[in-house]
Amino acid sequence: MSTAEGEDILVSPGVRRSRTGSGTRLAGGVGHWLRLFRSELRIVFLRPRNLMMFALLVAMPIFLGIVLRVSAPPPGAGGPPGAGVLIGQVAENGVFLSLLTLFLLLALVLPLAIAVVSGDSIAGEAGLGTLRTLLTVPAGRTRLLFTKYLMIVVFAVVACVLVAGVGLAVGAVLFPIGRVTLLSGDTVSLADGLGRLAVIVGYVAAALASLGAIGLALSTFTQHAIAVMAAILVVAVGSQILDAIPQVAAIHPILPTHFWFSFDALLRMPIAWPDVRHGFESFAVYAIIFLTVAWVRLQRANVTC
């Protein structure tokens, strides 16, 4: 198959080629990519198992809100480090229901959602036999990888916004809401508290996007999406277990989940920006490394077997 023939595989009927002095270019290439991206989003957001995952994400803050409303600790009672501190704050301010739900779901449920989407991104195409067609044109491989990863990022953002939004709505209905008392004991306005919540949502989404990059890279090595999903969960859970073992503290900073829960720095006064920055830097490094691995793998993929 010639290059010219191969190019038509990824070009929809409405896209025409035009010639310039530098060679052949695709007229309407951006429009074609947008159609490809919209197609990916429709597949991901309308797939029944992903809809069930969204339903679970919506149900969790509702369930937690009802449980805490029925048997909430006294306002200001506090609690042990971690989720216990947030539980002690929920009765005092419903905003903390969003934070508590994000904290709890980040341990397993949100990584599971990303594992399902990223694990199926390339391996699912390979298993169905459609990846061979998509990879026939070498020039289209980078675009395909970019589209798949952007889809994962959008899914991560939507999942986090959904959890935080439902948690905030349920918290406002079941608990008092107003000025926010931070974990450091300082009190800020509700607008300030909601602004911090928005940054936390972005932080958690970035953490999940870095895990999605790992999943995307692993997905290029096999045709079995289930195996990739399991591997991603092993990475996420195994990293959290290692991060809790003091004897291996030397490797803690390089674990992919080490900075996941550092968003509590945004709930103190003053904000510990170095902790937040280190988290974003860690997520970016993991995303760059594994997207590079995925890109190299796709460039070398044998599409004729």
Q: pTM of the full predicted structure?
A: 0.85
Task: For 302, list phi and psi in degrees, rounded to 5.
Answer: -90, 110
Backbone dihedral region for residue 82 (phi beyond 0: left; psi -120 to 50: alpha; all else: beta): left
Residue environment code for 201-211, b if the CB has 16+ CB neighbours within 10 A, otherwise e: bebbbbbbbbb
> What is the per-residue pLDDT for 40?
85
> What is the per-residue pLDDT for 115?
94
Helix (H) / strand (E) element for 295: namely helix 273-300
pLDDT digits (tens, 9 = 90+) for 130-180: 666 565 545 578 888 899 999 999 999 999 999 999 999 999 999 999 999
> What is the per-residue pLDDT for 29?
67
Single-letter amino acid code for the residue at 37: F
Q: Collapsing DSSP states into helix, strand and coil, what is residue 24?
A: strand
> Cβ(236)–Cβ(250) under 8 Å?
no
CA distances for 300 relative to 123, 139, 151, 170, angstroms: 15, 13, 23, 49
Helix (H) / strand (E) element for 187: namely strand 187-188
Residues of the chain with pLDDT under 50: 1-27, 80, 137, 304-305
